[in-house]
Amino acid sequence: MPGALKTGECVALSPEQANYLLNVLRLREGARVLTFNGRDGEFEASLAQISKKSVALQIEKHLRPQEYPWDIDYLFAPLKHARLDYVSQKAVEMGVRRICPVITRQTQVSRVNIERLRANAREAAEQCGVIWLAEIVEERPLARALADVPEDRVLVYCDEDAPNGRTVASLAAYAAPTAVSLLVGPEGGFDEAERALILRAPNVCRLSLGPRILRADTAAVAALALIQAYWGDWR
């Protein structure tokens, strides 16, 4: 829900939301739903049908205060449509706070459909029961994205050339960081100049994800699982 949410208020839904509740979920006047806007927490609400096509939500009860995920930025070279949908959904399920497409030399797509990323992130939030909306950052060139990583943030660089068998040890070298930026390369990998630039970044942690070359979306989920298990909200 874009607008502010407050108990007792009546909030009009967008035509898409009204269509989804009336025609997809086949809900009727008085039906109870849970709603959130990523700022005010979660509320219980009931459907108030205004007209054949327009619906409002009567906000009934505040259920839980706003929650935010642990501070993980997911920096990745955007993939083609279906796989971009997949990685944005998985990133939310894995508890990422910001989704940050990064343009590299071997990136498959030069323009990113930010609205599509946002819609996927919202859908994933609804499905996995979280009440925050991952922030979608406009695509940036790699050098800019690296320069924007604050020095006190650990940059976890998924590096297929990192020494194998040291995955846990490479994470153990950092005592419970408060914020992490995860970097996953394009299908074609980073070129030598890009690799050198990444390795010159302050606080870079080279992470091996084992002896096999993983596809970029698999690497993202594997690395996020390690980060959450080792430093994050799976502990």
The DSSP H or E segment spanning 13 is none
Segment interacting with ligand SAM (CB under 6 A) among 1-9, 191-199, 204-212, 224-232: 204-212
User: In this complex, which beta carbon is closest to ligand SAM, that of residue 73 or of residue 159?
Assistant: 159
Binding of ligand SAM by 215 (CB under 6 A): yes
Q: How far apart are CA 118 and CA 134, in angstroms?
A: 8
Binding of ligand SAM by 208 (CB under 6 A): yes
Asked if 232 contacts 96 with a C-beta cutoff of 8 angstroms, the reply is no
Query: What 8-state DSSP symbol labels residue 79?
Result: -
Q: By C-alpha distance, which of 154, 191, 234, 210 is closest to 77? A: 191
Binding of ligand SAM by 225 (CB under 6 A): no
User: In this complex, which beta carbon is closest to ligand SAM, that of residue 130 or of residue 207?
Assistant: 207
Binding of ligand SAM by 204 (CB under 6 A): no
Binding of ligand SAM by 155 (CB under 6 A): no
Binding of ligand SAM by 199 (CB under 6 A): no
Segment interacting with ligand SAM (CB under 6 A) among 34-42, 64-72, 90-98, 211-219: 211-219
Q: How far apart are CA 133 and CA 131, in angstroms?
A: 7
* One character per residue 66-105, x = contact with ligand SAM (rule: CB under 6 A): ----------------------------------------
Binding of ligand SAM by 185 (CB under 6 A): yes
User: In this complex, which beta carbon is closest to ligand SAM, that of residue 47 or of residue 184?
Assistant: 184
Q: 11-33 in b/e burial notation, b at 16+ Cβ within 10 A?
A: bebeeeebeebbeeeebeeeeee
Q: How buried is residue 200: exposed, middle or buried, by Cβ count under 10 Å (0-12/13-18/19+)?
A: exposed
The 3 state secondary structure assigned to 94-112 is CCCCEEEEEECCCCCCCCC
Binding of ligand SAM by 142 (CB under 6 A): no
User: In this complex, which beta carbon is closest to ligand SAM, that of residue 186 or of residue 232?
Assistant: 186
Q: How far is residue 61 CA from its own chain's centroid?
A: 28
Segment interacting with ligand SAM (CB under 6 A) among 6-14, 15-23, 29-37, 207-215: 207-215
* Residues in binding contact with ligand SAM, number by CB under 6 A: 19
Binding of ligand SAM by 205 (CB under 6 A): no
Considering only residues 13, 22, 184, 205, which one is a binding residue for ligand SAM as defined by CB under 6 A? 184
Instruction: Measure CA of the first residue to CA of the last residue in the chain; give whole Å.
Output: 31
The residue length of the chain stands at 235
Q: How buried is residue 192: exposed, middle or buried, by Cβ count under 10 Å (0-12/13-18/19+)?
A: exposed
- Residue 42 tokens read as 């979660």
Q: What does the binding site for ligand SAM look like in residue numbers (CB under 6 A)?
A: 158-160, 184-185, 187-190, 207-210, 212-216, 219
